[in-house]
Amino acid sequence: MHSIASHWLNYIDGEWVDSPQHLVVNNPGTAEPLATVARAGVADAERALLAARRCADSGALSRVRPAQRVSWLLRIASEIRDLANEGAWVLCQENGKSLADARDEFTEAARYFEYYAGMADKIEGTSIPLGDGYMDFTVYDPIGVSAQIVPWNFPVSICARSLAPALAAGNAVVIKSPELSPLGMCVLIRAIANAGLPNGAVNLICGLGRETGAHLVSSAKVDQIVFTGSVATGQSILRAAAEHAIPCVMELGGKSAAIVFADADREQLLASVKGGIFFNAGQVCSAMSRLLVQRDIYEEIVSDVVALAEGLSVGLGQDNPDLTPVISAGQLAGIETLCRRAADEGAVAATGGEAFSDRSGHFMRPTVFRDVSPEMSIAQQEVFGPVLTVIPFDTEEEAIAIANGTDFGLVAGVFTQNINRAMRCSRRLKAGQVFVNEWYAGGIETPFGGVGLSGYGREKGQEALYSYVRTKNVAIRVAGE
Ligand code: NAD
């Protein structure tokens, strides 16, 4: 167990800086205040942008030999591993998530830096044959200043997910941490501050989204925006980005479906349901929030998932239970509202449906809705809590239509022993990633992102690196050939 500093700072131009105003960070497990963080205002955002601009324009990151960026990224990864235990404790306390999952976030963050370190000296262009008299090639230039806005559900790993490829490609970055869970990211940035990058390469500000965040995304000093968060905020950021016609990566919400055929392996399925909807209290953009079950096995599966939900251990993150609190009182109230609406529309809560009334933190009962039809709001809207809807289907055709029948398209899953069916479904599912027989089967190596209201652009994997560069073609007329 570590003690937690009572006050935390922003990191701008290579220095930790305070601000006259503070934000209070609460512990979701106890609903008690945990610490304060300097609340960056518009002036702090401007300083961070200027520092990043100076760093990008000086070429301190982009004009060095790429092997230098490889060493910086590897050094960052090693510093993260050194701070992981302390960081995990901080993240667990401020976020409510289990200590083991918080530890995994730091490990994953280190992996992002190792992975993109491996690419930093391999961003190779191509030579394009144009016949005699010409030499033509492409180069990948960094974009410049990347503004990265991070949500509270996996702040450390999501921050690393965008920061590592941005640095690998030679960009300077200004990051805005989420108001509700900014402290673990401060530990992550401490690891980066220890790694000896040029000043201004990485800046962290914590402020209100509508103030500091909005300022960042509308600034002419920004060349690219990476946003992970809700659809409504993403849409407002896209409108701001349109003003300067800058590229964006948008990782938004989801209402992802798993299709379960009668031949599915039950053990694999139940392990996937447990991780898919109850991990991180369901506050996962790619959560398995809809379970589409072939009618022959519908009753059996409902009773299996109800037993699973009712058997989950519940408690404070530090004790590593199956189910942890949700992030805030507001989030809990929103989840309960959606559950009440589901009941009003005729869905039946086979278990749960409301908060735990006997706990002081923000604990939602693990919930399973049955008798859900695809058009109900509980089957269409993102809940972002431990709430599963179970929907019956008869044919493969019908299952695909239900799975594809929302405005989202982040991930999807198929559970079957029939490889042909799995292949057919994975081709037809409207999603950026399809899991077969294991939810979250991918990794940091596999491209991730959405279609529809789930956003666009890809993070993770080699493909993500190309979101952080601009292609330039050089076409040369060679005389005398
Ligand atoms: P949110 O949109 O409320 O906030 C996300 C971030 O945006 C925060 O840092 C916030 O301060 C900032 N922000 C708010 N208003 C802003 C504005 N006008 N301009 C600039 N920045 C602003 O989302 P949240 O509640 O923190 O996160 C939950 C949502 O994020 C869910 O919808 C979830 O699905 C989504 N999410 C998506 C992914 C993904 O990879 N696709 C991952 C995690 C979360």
pLDDT recorded at residue 162: 98
pLDDT band at 233 (very low <50, low <70, confident <90, very high): very high
pLDDT recorded at residue 58: 98
What percent of the chain shows pLDDT beyond 70? 100
Give the mean pLDDT of 32-56. Answer: 98
CA of residue 211 to ligand 1 center, whole Å: 14
Residues 285-299, buried b or exposed e (16+ Cβ, 10 A)?
A: bbbbbbbbbbeebbe
The string of pLDDT tens digits covering residues 429-447 is 999 999 999 999 999 999 9
Q: Which residues contact 151 (CB under 8 A, 6 or more apart)?
A: 158, 178, 228, 229, 230
For atom 20 of ligand 1, the residue with the nearest CA is 213
Look at strands 32-38 and 7-8 and give their pairing.
Answer: parallel
Is-catalytic flag, 251?
yes
pLDDT recorded at residue 2: 74
- Looking up tokens 């039946």 gives 348
Q: Which residues line ligand 1 (CB under 6 A)?
A: 149-153, 158, 176, 178-179, 209-210, 213-214, 217, 228-230, 233, 236-237, 251-254, 285, 382, 384, 410
pLDDT recorded at residue 30: 97
* DSSP assigned state of 297: G
Residue-by-residue DSSP string for 312-361: --B--GGG--SB---S-HHHHHHHHHHHHHHHHTT-EEEE--SB-TT-SS
Give the mean pLDDT of 330-346. Answer: 98
pLDDT recorded at residue 481: 80
Is-catalytic flag, 463?
no
Give the mean pLDDT of 23-35. Answer: 98
For atom 30 of ligand 1, the residue with the nearest CA is 229
From 94, 108, 251, 382, active-site residue: 251
Give the mean pLDDT of 143-163. Answer: 98
pLDDT recorded at residue 431: 98
CA of residue 229 to ligand 1 center, whole Å: 2
pLDDT band at 246 (very low <50, low <70, confident <90, very high): very high
The string of pLDDT tens digits covering residues 370-429 is 999 999 999 999 999 999 999 999 999 999 999 999 999 999 999 999 999 999 999 999
What CA–CA distances, in Å, run from 253 to 45, 174, 228, 245? 26, 23, 9, 23
Residue-by-residue DSSP string for 397-460: HHHHHHHT-SS--SEEEEE-S-HHHHHHHHHH--SSEEEESSTT---TTS-B--SGGGEES-BS
Judged on CB neighbours under 10 Å (0-12, 13-18, 19+), 42 is middle
For atom 19 of ligand 1, the residue with the nearest CA is 214
pLDDT recorded at residue 1: 65
Residue 174 has pLDDT above 90, yes or no: yes
From 55, 248, 285, 425, active-site residue: 285
- Select from 204, 233, 284, 362 the residue to mutate for testing ligand 1; criterion: most ligand atoms less than 8 Å from CB: 233
Give the mean pLDDT of 351-359. Answer: 96
pLDDT recorded at residue 55: 98
For atom 34 of ligand 1, the residue with the nearest CA is 253
For atom 16 of ligand 1, the residue with the nearest CA is 209
